[in-house]
Chain A
Amino acid sequence: MKEPRNHMLDALSGGGWIILGGIFAILSLQMDRREHLGATFFTAPGFVPFMLGLALAFFGVVLVVRSLKGHVPEMPELRMEASGVRALVALGLMSVYALVLVGRMPFWLATFLFVSTFIVTFGVKDFRPRAVSVLLVKAMLTGALTAAVVSFVFQEVFLVRLP
């Protein structure tokens, strides 16, 4: 596997922190200071986020400078044998479930659809009809069982009005 250019990633994330810290600092300075209520610069609502924004930007600069000097940081997660595509597919499925399905249809149905689809998507390795059928049955059973148990526990035991 090709070694990722970690120091460039660090420089990029450092740049991101500088921008984010700067935004927080500027927005903090623009906050209502409540001076008519006796607040000073140090006790105004924006003081702490202003300082934190500066600190974030400062450490962003440290990351950038360190990277430009050739420091190669450890990123074990990027070096391990893994598939970013699998993670992205999982993220897509989970986001659709959490942000689209839940709240727009009965919770049990959303859960059943999500769990079954997830298992089929990641579980399929053998495309022969019999293997696919077995996987489909297992996926639907797991989906149905999860939907039933989670709905029952949260709705009937914890008395939560499900979305």
Chain B
Amino acid sequence: MLAAAFASLLNWESLALAAAACLGGLIIGALPGLTATMGLALLTTMTIHLSPTNAILVLVCTYVLAIYGGSRTAILLNIPGTPSSAATALDGNVLARRGMAGQAMGMATMGSAVGTLIGLFLLALITPPLGEFALSFGAFEFFWLALFGVLISGNLSGTDPVKGWIAGILGLLVSTIGRETTFGVERFTFGITELSGGIMLLPAMVGAFGFAEVLHVMRRKAKEAVVDNSGRTLPRFREFLRYRWTVLRSGILGTFTGLLPGVGEDVGAWSSYAVAKRFSKTPEEFGKGSLDGLVAAETGNNASVPGAMIPVLTLGIPGSGVAAVLMAALIIHGAQPGPLLMVTSPQLIYDVIAMLVIATFGILILGLSLTRAMVLILRAKDVYLMPIIAVLCVIGPYAIQSRLFDIWVVVAFGVIGYFLRLLNYPMAPLVLGIVLGELLDRNLRRSFVLADGDWTAFFTRPISAVVAAIIVLLLLSQIPFLRKGIGALWGRLSRRTAAKTES
């Protein structure tokens, strides 16, 4: 099946599109203000007329390269091109200022490429059995999983879980607008015909991530100067081999972080960075130009990309905000990600693996060759770039259904997104809420029908009980006096264990 996937992609048209998507993704990731989510949301609107395989290939290549591309700006400008490159900036820019920009970019490239490979290996290993396992899920499990996805995303995607949960609930509420599927009742439409079909995901996403992002970029002052000391980019094999354990550890950790619903690539990078520091023989160098830290962050965030695709393919629950856009695109192109994927179109899993391999080649080829050109691109002024992005934000969502209403949705979500971000509300849970709202609504009500109104049935099935327990712990962990109590208990236990060991 993997051979068939490669055979379907190894033609001139697909390869040319993949090359263009890799270059586009690299530029999107590298330019501050253009995030992977925004790029993917805009590209979904532009790939609507391609064949499903080529459209998904373009989106996968853009996704991978955009996450990688963020490292360029992080190293050269000390501004993460995408949020997932924030950890890269810590050491990357220090190295660049020491005149080691080329070496830093080379190591980041190798880390990203190997991270993607580790991630896709784990994707190939985990997805089929997880898909088979997901076939045993029923309405109860899907309700809990949808709720878990929104809550964990709220918990981890920002700095304030309460605000993350509010954003998630808001997304879930937005998803209830329009005609519901069970009884055909119109909810919150207020007689507006266009609202009957509900708020479409893509205009909402382009608004929250694209339109709002343009406003944020225009709000801030001028960019920092680009460090222009590229030096040798191609890393020596022996030098990279020195970080093999960091790469392996970060790759595995990044993949599993990506796998958690709503957690995303930035957590993948930070957790890999933290673990690498813990295991490092020179932890004091972290943040002061450590290649170990740089490689860990870059391997971690790119390994999260295949990781985030695992729950999309097997459960129909995205692992990150970018994966949510990818999932929406898969649905638009006729694929049905979720438990039935193993029955309806198992080939898609192998297609995605083949696409990830092509994207990895894209990282290596473009990443190691386009260092000078990228410096020039990074000098592009926001004042010229942002109006063009705004035009694409307006026309892209319109192109899907040719409705002016979708443009209004973009503006509305852009304004809402802008002000929410100012108040530190994360956007990823909002988008996940919109994506998972229908799943949650349908399965919660279906569960009540199946259980004949008995709510205890939500806690008696084994998988449901486990996910419900995790959700309760997640919520309880944010109550200050409980958190302090657990912390004190943990401290007491640790001290007692230490005392026993000493005696």
| Chain A interfacial positions (CB closer than 8 Å to B) | 9-10, 13, 17, 24, 27-28, 31-32, 34, 37, 39-40, 42-43, 45-49, 52-53, 55-56, 59-60, 62-63, 66, 73-78, 80-84, 86-87, 89-91, 94-95, 97-99, 102-103, 107, 111, 114-115, 118-119, 122-123, 138, 142, 146, 150, 153-154, 157-163
Q: Is B134 an interface residue (CB 8 A)?
A: no
Within 8 A of A (CB), among B113-166: 159-160, 162-163, 165-166
Query: Given the complex of chains A and B, what is the CA–CA distance between A13 and B394 in angstroms?
Result: 28
Return the 3 tightest CB-CB contacts between A and B, nearest first. Answer: A87-B219, A118-B387, A90-B218
Chain B residue nearest to A56 (CB atoms) is: B169
A77 contact set on B, CB distance < 8 A: 216, 421-422, 424
Query: Given the complex of chains A and B, what is the CA–CA distance between A39 and B185 in angstroms?
Result: 12
Whole-angstrom distance from the CB of B68 to the nearest CB of chain A? 25
Residue of B159, B163, B166, B423 most packed against chain A (CB within 10 A): B166
Contact of A17 among B166, B387, B395, B404 (CB under 8 A): B166
Instruction: Contacts A9-B423, A160-B402 known; list 11 others, CB within 8 Å.
Output: A32-B183, A48-B441, A53-B173, A75-B424, A98-B407, A98-B408, A99-B407, A99-B408, A103-B407, A114-B387, A142-B384
Contact of A94 among B162, B214, B455 (CB under 8 A): B214
Chain B residue nearest to A139 (CB atoms) is: B384
Chain B residue nearest to A39 (CB atoms) is: B183
Q: A80-B220, A115-B391 are in contact. Are A52 and B185 (CB under 8 A)?
A: no
A37 contact set on B, CB distance < 8 A: 183
Does the CB pair B221–A46 fall under 8 Å?
no
B159 contact set on A, CB distance < 8 A: 74
Query: Can you report 19 residue pairs joining A to B where beta carbons are below 8 Å apart?
Result: A24-B173, A24-B188, A28-B187, A37-B183, A39-B183, A40-B453, A42-B448, A45-B183, A45-B187, A63-B163, A66-B162, A77-B424, A89-B218, A90-B386, A99-B408, A115-B391, A118-B386, A119-B383, A153-B46
Q: Is B49 an interface residue (CB 8 A)?
A: yes
Query: Given the complex of chains A and B, what is the CA–CA distance between A122 and B381 in angstroms?
Result: 11
Within 8 A of A (CB), among B206-221: 211, 214-216, 218-221
Query: Given the complex of chains A and B, what is the CA–CA distance between A60 and B167 in angstroms?
Result: 11
Does the CB pair B391–A146 fall under 8 Å?
yes
Whole-angstrom distance from the CB of A127 to the nearest CB of chain B? 16
Query: Given the complex of chains A and B, what is the CA–CA distance between A48 and B149 in angstroms?
Result: 17
Q: Is B489 an interface residue (CB 8 A)?
A: no
Contact with A along B366-404 (1 / 0, CB 8 A): 000000000000000101101110111011001100101
Contact with A along B215-232 (1 / 0, CB 8 A): 110111100000000000
Contact with A along B415-459 (1 / 0, CB 8 A): 100100111100000000000000011001100110001010000
Query: Given the complex of chains A and B, what is the CA–CA distance between A96 and B142 in angstroms?
Result: 43
Does the CB pair A42–B453 fall under 8 Å?
yes
Q: Is B340 an interface residue (CB 8 A)?
A: no
Q: A87-B215, A90-B214 are in contact. Are A73 and B424 (CB under 8 A)?
A: yes
B387 contact set on A, CB distance < 8 A: 114-115, 118-119, 142, 146
Whole-angstrom distance from the CB of B480 to the nearest CB of chain A? 9
Q: Number of A-B pairs whose CB atoms are under 8 Å?
A: 178
Q: A48-B441, A94-B411 are in contact. Are A55 and B216 (CB under 8 A)?
A: no
Whole-angstrom distance from the CB of B176 to the nearest CB of chain A? 4
Does the CB pair B395–A162 fall under 8 Å?
yes
Q: Is B172 an interface residue (CB 8 A)?
A: yes
B460 contact set on A, CB distance < 8 A: none
Chain B residue nearest to A80 (CB atoms) is: B220
Query: Given the complex of chains A and B, what is the CA–CA distance between A48 and B173 in angstroms?
Result: 9
Contact of B423 among A10, A42, A150 (CB under 8 A): A10
Does the CB pair A59–B185 fall under 8 Å?
no
Does the CB pair A160–B399 fall under 8 Å?
yes
| Chain B interfacial positions (CB closer than 8 Å to A) | 46, 48-49, 159-160, 162-163, 165-166, 169-170, 172-173, 176, 180, 182-183, 185, 187-188, 211, 214-216, 218-221, 381, 383-384, 386-388, 390-392, 394-395, 398-399, 402, 404, 407-408, 410-411, 414-415, 418, 421-424, 440-441, 444-445, 448-449, 453, 455
Does the CB pair A87–B407 fall under 8 Å?
no
A24 contact set on B, CB distance < 8 A: 173, 188
Query: Given the complex of chains A and B, what is the CA–CA distance between A53 and B172 in angstroms?
Result: 10
Does the CB pair B173–A122 fall under 8 Å?
no
Does the CB pair B392–A40 fall under 8 Å?
no
Query: Given the complex of chains A and B, what is the CA–CA distance between A47 and B392 in angstroms?
Result: 38
Query: Given the complex of chains A and B, what is the CA–CA distance between A97 and B411 in angstroms?
Result: 10
A59 contact set on B, CB distance < 8 A: 162, 165-166, 169
A17 contact set on B, CB distance < 8 A: 166
Does the CB pair B160–A82 fall under 8 Å?
no
A142 contact set on B, CB distance < 8 A: 384, 387-388
Q: A34-B183, A59-B165, A94-B214 are in contact. Are A119 and B384 (CB under 8 A)?
A: yes
Contact of B394 among A60, A102, A122, A161 (CB under 8 A): A102
Q: A43-B449, A74-B160, A98-B411 are in contact. Are A81 and B220 (CB under 8 A)?
A: yes
Chain A residue nearest to B190 (CB atoms) is: A27
Q: A27-B188, A78-B422, A146-B391 are in contact. Are A102 and B386 (CB under 8 A)?
A: no
Residue of A34, A84, A90, A157 most packed against chain B (CB within 10 A): A90
Whole-angstrom distance from the CB of B254 to the nearest CB of chain A? 25
Whole-angstrom distance from the CB of B404 to the nearest CB of chain A? 5
Query: Given the complex of chains A and B, what is the CA–CA distance between A62 and B169 in angstroms?
Result: 14
Contact of A48 among B48, B398, B421, B440 (CB under 8 A): B440
Does the CB pair A56–B173 fall under 8 Å?
yes
A119 contact set on B, CB distance < 8 A: 383-384, 387
B218 contact set on A, CB distance < 8 A: 86-87, 89-90, 122
Query: Given the complex of chains A and B, what is the CA–CA distance between A142 and B389 in angstroms?
Result: 13
Whole-angstrom distance from the CB of A156 to the nearest CB of chain B? 11
Does the CB pair A32–B391 fall under 8 Å?
no
Query: Given the complex of chains A and B, what is the CA–CA distance between A24 and B188 in angstroms?
Result: 8
Does the CB pair B172–A52 fall under 8 Å?
yes
